[in-house]
Structure 1
Amino acid sequence: MQFFKVKTVEETYTLIEEFVKAIKDTEEIPLEESLHRILAEDIIATENVPSFPRSTVDGYAVMAKETFGSSETMPGFLNVAGSVKMGEEVTTHLKSGEAVYIPTGGMVPPNSDSVIMIEHCEDLAGLLNTYKQVAPGENVIQIGEDVRIGDVLIENGTKLRPQELGAIAAIGKSKVTVYKQLTIGYLSSGDEIVPYETKDLQIGQVRDINALTITSLVNEWGAKAIYAGIVTDDYSEYQRVAKELFDKVDCLVLSGGSSVGAKDYTTKVIETLGQPGVFTHGISIKPGKPTILAMAKDKPVIGLPGHPASAMIIFSLFGEKIVKKLSGETSRNKLERVQVRLTKNIHSSMGRTDYIRVKLSEKDGEWWADPIIGKSGLISTLVQSDGIVEISAEYEGVRQGEFVPAILLR
């Protein structure tokens, strides 16, 4: 009996990086069908977003200088000269001393440079009382402030989330080039394994839980799973079914028979599929030590432990890494949900729960959240974000270095 040589987790990841290469086949598909696919091109902005200056609030378009000095006790006064209609171009210039009502998203008049929120003014029969001064550019998104012509909006290798689809739609692109969808084959082995639908188990039998957990993870990662059923501990049958499945898929996953017992055929079967063969047989991890990783004819082969908990943990740790490498994904790795430290102070209003978009990075074994500063209507801030941090209503803010919960954007 030949015992496996155990690799560390770090060594295993290094070997995956060395052996597994991305599949470069691509296809062009409609944007609406591209969710969770891996982008195979840089998306270059061909137009400015927005293409006209837009209001971010309901209020009145004004010349900022004409609100200077306005307060609750000493309001300013402007004449209401009309209103902006949604979806229509505005060509009329404001005159000195005038304001125009504007809804959120409306086009700001040519010589107006700011919008005063409706909460901070009052229209009294055409006379607008302004109770707060506004700065030039306040509550206005300028031409190209979100996306500018020539910008790389989204990079090759990005996994497309809903926010990426929205950003691509914003520049009028209806089709995207993506890498081919991976096909992952899964096969269970063992005399004791029976289909998970089995109602009445005989003594010693075990339902094939892995058939669901492993294929569900595959689907969750954006690949297509092919389940080939269960084979008994018969070497010839195991090798035949594994070879047939291997020829149909981009990556083969085998569950059961990865340890050192007399009837553990997985290593032998893998070695018949092609060179260079097994590069990891055993990882110093608990659970999941008897794990096999191999390459055969440029295809990864994964031998998982039969125990469902071990199989799912191992596949989550190493299978996802392999699938991402194969798929061409270069996006930042993301956690499920974490406590993170803030890189800078964030102000918040007491009595209101605030959600701040952040970019995550790891430093000295801790996750840090860098707030992404931008007006609330900017699509590009979503694309840049890994998650959002929550500042609850009882706080006036959070100081740099403090821990906050982060909800991750998948």
Structure 2
Amino acid sequence: MQFYNVKSVEETLAIIKQHVAPINATVTLPLPEARGHVLAEDIIAPEDVPGFDRSTVDGYAVKAQDTYGSSESTPQFLEVVGEIEMGEEVTQRLQGGQAMAIPTGGMLPPGSDSVIMVEYCENMDGLLNTYRQVAPMENVIQKGEDIRQGDKLLAKGTRLRAQELGALASLGITEVTVYRPIRVGYLSSGDEIVPFQTKRLQVGQVRDINQLTIAALVEEWGGEVILGGIVPDEYETFKWTAQRLFEQVDFLVLSGGSSVGAKDYTTEVIQSLGDPGVLVHGVSIKPGKPTIFSMAGNKPVLGLPGHPASAMLIFLLFGQTAMGRLQGETEHNIPRRIEARITQNIASSPGRSDYIRVRLVEREGEWWAEPVLGKSGLISTLVASDGVVEIASVKEGVRQGEWVPVLLLR
């Protein structure tokens, strides 16, 4: 079978986004277990954060106007009328000409509107000398300045990272409703593939690396993995195993056998799973051209190349996109990117997206991408890489020193 329906990277991503819809089943999880999951509802702030005006420095709570004109040579003088303790409510109102000692995070007393840092004043037996003036609300976080009651804190479709969990915890939210984790089935094929636990290889055998790398990425992105094992290059066995696994999962991933060899049955097996069938067979990308994307009913199926480096890159690009859509994620950037300067000229073929493995080196405050040379199927070059430089299909290459997008692998 020859490649057909070859698409660009951009076209393939658009096809995935067009055809893959969210799974609407939800679960309610305790907040500590929700990291990596996607919100199934908007979060409206039930209270203000902080719940009171608080100091951002150690110093003295004052009325700003009482410090106007202060300098080293002509300080203003304020009466120190108390000391605020952490965690206590302050009810004593500050009058004009008065100050109260306050720690970082302490509650401002009523009547005060700013804090002068301890470095710019001096307490001399209850008389505070101020050596610089402060503006209203200087060194103060106001009530509700961080999060305001009634505002939408997080939108439905937001993936929960550490910072989102922290914001939810600040509001006293202890559980959230999220889309249930999607189930991703993974199946390797090939007469030469053996379990990675195999101690002694026979001539021509290859350990199944992709099972580990793809499963690790799925779990990192909040999914659950169901492993289908390894099937030989025999059509009926391959088809039966794939069908059984397909019935258990939301997204099926097959590795190996997506090329054009006489015993590569992946395309036929994928097509047999259901309509509309194969939508992409071949992507104009290097490495990773023998990539298949299909829809069987409402379930996506992705056929990966067998080479570990190619399989991982393709899954980063297209597998993560499909997972994000299934999980209901609204803002899905794939994968995390940075900008770096390339250390040497790299030629590229127009009409094909090239992905060059690189290590990142910092030079004078800038990131530089240094190509990791070697054939695309080498595992060692992937281990030595921090990311891959993306050379778009419209370009004929990049020049030394040019800024380039780097897709991070770490």
Q: Partner of 1:338 in structure 2?
A: 338
SS of alignment partner, residue 27 of structure 1? strand
Equivalent residues in 2 for 1:11-410, closer than 5 Å: 11-333=11-333, 336=336, 338-339=338-339
The DSSP-based 3-state class of the residue aligned with 2:286 is coil
Instruction: Sort the Cα spacing of 1:332 and 1:106 in 2 relative to 1 into closer, same or farther, 3 A.
Output: farther
RMSD: 2.1
CA distance in 1, matches of 2:200, 2:273: 36
In the alignment, the residues of structure 1 paired with residue 236 and residue 28 of structure 2 have an alpha-carbon distance, to the nearest angstrom, of 41
Go from structure 1 to structure 2 and tell me whether the alpha carbon gap of 1:334 and 1:311 turns closer, same or farther (over 3 Å shift).
Answer: closer
Residues 332, 16 of structure 1: CA spacing in aligned structure 2 closer, same or farther, 3 A cutoff?
closer
CA displacement at 1:332 relative to structure 2? 4.8
Note the C-alpha offset of 1:259: 1.0
Could you tell me how far 1:145 is from its partner in structure 2? 1.2
Q: Give the secondary structure class of the aligned counterpart of 1:259.
A: coil
CA drift of 1:48 comes to: 1.4
| Residue identity matched to 1:17 | K
Compute the displacement of 1:95 (Å): 2.3
Deviations for 1:107-131, whole angstroms, at most 9, x for unmatched residues?
1011000001112112222221211
Aligned pair in 2 of structure 1 residues 283, 332: CA closer, same or farther (>3 Å)?
A: closer
Report the Cα distance in structure 1 between the residues aligned to 2:226 and 2:248, rounded to whole angstroms.
9
| Residue 334 (structure 1) shift | 6.1
Q: Which residue number in structure 2 is paired with residue 387 of structure 1?
A: none
User: How far did 1:331 drift?
Assistant: 2.5
C-alpha displacement of 1:274: 1.3
- Alignment-mate amino acid for residue 34 of structure 1: A
Q: CA deviation at 1:136?
A: 0.5
Q: Distance in 2 between matches of 1:146 and 1:85?
A: 22
Structure 1 residue 323 displacement after superposition: 0.6
Give deviations 1:246-293, integer Å, cap 9, x for gaps: 111110000001011111111111122111111100011111111110
1:79-125 superposed Cα distances (whole Å, 9 cap, x missing partner) = 21111111111111112221101111111011000001112112222
**Quick check: 2:321–2:334 contact (8 Å CA) kept in 1?**
no
**Distance in 2 of aligned mates of 1:232 and 1:55:** 67
Give the unaligned 5+ runs of structure 2: 341-363, 366-402
Q: Which residue of 1 aligns with 2:385?
A: none
Q: 2:345 corresponds to which residue?
A: none
One-letter amino acid of the structure 1 residue matched with residue 202 of structure 2: Q
> Could you say if the C-alpha distance between residues 162 and 324 of structure 1 is closer, same or farther in structure 2, counting changes exceeding 3 Å?
same
Under a length normalisation based on structure 2, what TM-score does the superposition of the two structures give?
0.81
Secondary structure of residue in 2 paired with 1:32: helix
- Paired residue type of 2:60: Y
Q: Deviations over 1:190-210 (max 9, x none)?
A: 000111121221111111110
Name the amino acid aligned to 2:207: R
Shift of 1:5: 2.6
* SS of 1:128 mapped into structure 2: strand
Return the alpha-carbon distance in structure 1 between the equivalents of residues 2 and 117 of structure 2.
75
* Aligned partners of 2:5 and 2:279 also within 8 Å: no
Alpha-carbon distance in structure 2 between the residues aligned to 1:337 and 1:283: 21
Asked if 1:9 is matched to 2:4, the reply is no
Give, in whole Å, the separation in 2 of the partners of 1:333 and 1:95.
53
Provide the C-alpha distance between the structure 2 equivalents of 1:181 and 1:278, rounded to a whole number of angstroms: 25
Report the residue type matching 2:228 in the other structure.
Answer: A
Q: Distance in 1 between matches of 2:98 and 2:292?
A: 75
CA deviation vs aligned residue, 1:150-176 (integer Å, no higher than 9, x gap): 100011000001111111122222111
TM-score by length of 1: 0.81
CA displacement, residues 287-336 of structure 1 (integer Å, 9 cap, x when unaligned):
11111100112110001011111111111111111110111011352654
Give the aligned residue type for 1:193: I
Closer/same/farther in 2, CA of residues 334 and 229 from structure 1, 3 Å limit = closer
The secondary structure found in structure 2 opposite 1:290 is coil
Structure 2: distance between partners of 1:256 and 1:144: 55
Query: For the residues of structure 1 that align with 2:332 and 2:295, how far apart are their CA atoms?
Result: 25
1:338 deviates by 1.8
**Fraction of identical pairs, as percent:** 62
Stretches of structure 1 that go unaligned for 5 or more consecutive residues are: 341-390, 393-402
Deviation at 1:141, TM superposition (A): 1.3
Secondary structure of the structure 1 residue equivalent to 2:51: coil
